[in-house]
């Protein structure tokens, strides 16, 4: 089975530590995408970002199509469901899973401000 995931931080292609483009498997890059609803906020947790549902901005990222094995690996990377939760959301590249944090107040974090177009980019 395949799954589409929307990545917006360290899993984006080009990240030398853990970008999805580093994996050799059945994953495939669908394309650059932006969430289609202004319903998110983003926070910096230091080395990586976290999206929170219920904000008022869009998020810039990428959509990847992955198989069950890679989906499980991404769940492990994102510490799902202990740290991040996930939900299917609409993006400009179609519906995809987004990983988000529900209780940002329990973390030391800084808000990431949107650009003039109300899109947050990490």
Q: Is residue 52 in a domain?
A: yes
Residue 76: predicted pLDDT: 96
> What are the tens digits of pLDDT across the range 88-119?
999 999 999 999 999 999 999 999 999 999 99
Q: Is residue 39 in a domain?
A: yes
Does the pLDDT value for residue 24 go beyond 80?
A: no
Residue 18: predicted pLDDT: 84
Q: Is residue 121 in a domain?
A: no
Residue 105: predicted pLDDT: 94
> What are the tens digits of pLDDT across the range 55-96?
999 999 999 999 999 999 999 999 999 999 999 999 999 999
- Domains contained in the chain, number: 1
Q: Which domain holds residue 27?
A: 2-106
Q: Is residue 47 in a domain?
A: yes
Q: Is residue 102 in a domain?
A: yes
Q: Is residue 72 in a domain?
A: yes
Q: How many CB atoms lie within 10 A of CB 26?
A: 12
**Which CATH number fits the domain that encloses residue 74?**
3.10.490.10
Q: Is residue 113 in a domain?
A: no
Q: Is residue 119 in a domain?
A: no
The pLDDT of 17-34, averaged and rounded, is 89
> What are the tens digits of pLDDT across the range 34-52?
999 999 999 999 999 999 9
Residue 96: predicted pLDDT: 98
Strands (E), the chain: 2-7, 28-34, 40-44, 49-53, 58-67, 85-89, 96-100, 110-112, 119-120
């Amino acid at each position: 089975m395949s799954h589409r995931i929307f990545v917006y931080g360290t899993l984006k292609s080009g990240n030398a530590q853990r970008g999805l483009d580093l994996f050799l498997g059945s994953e495939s890059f669908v394309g650059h995408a932006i969430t289609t609803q202004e319903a998110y906020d983003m926070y910096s947790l230091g080395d990586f970002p976290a999206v929170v549902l219920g904000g008022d901005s869009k998020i810039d990222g990428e959509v990847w199509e992955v198989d069950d094995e890679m989906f499980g690996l991404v769940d492990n990377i994102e510490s799902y469901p202990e740290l991040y939760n996930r939900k299917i959301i609409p993006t400009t590249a179609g519906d995809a899973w987004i990983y988000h944090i529900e209780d940002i107040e329990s973390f030391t974090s800084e808000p990431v401000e949107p650009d003039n177009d109300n899109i947050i980019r990490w």
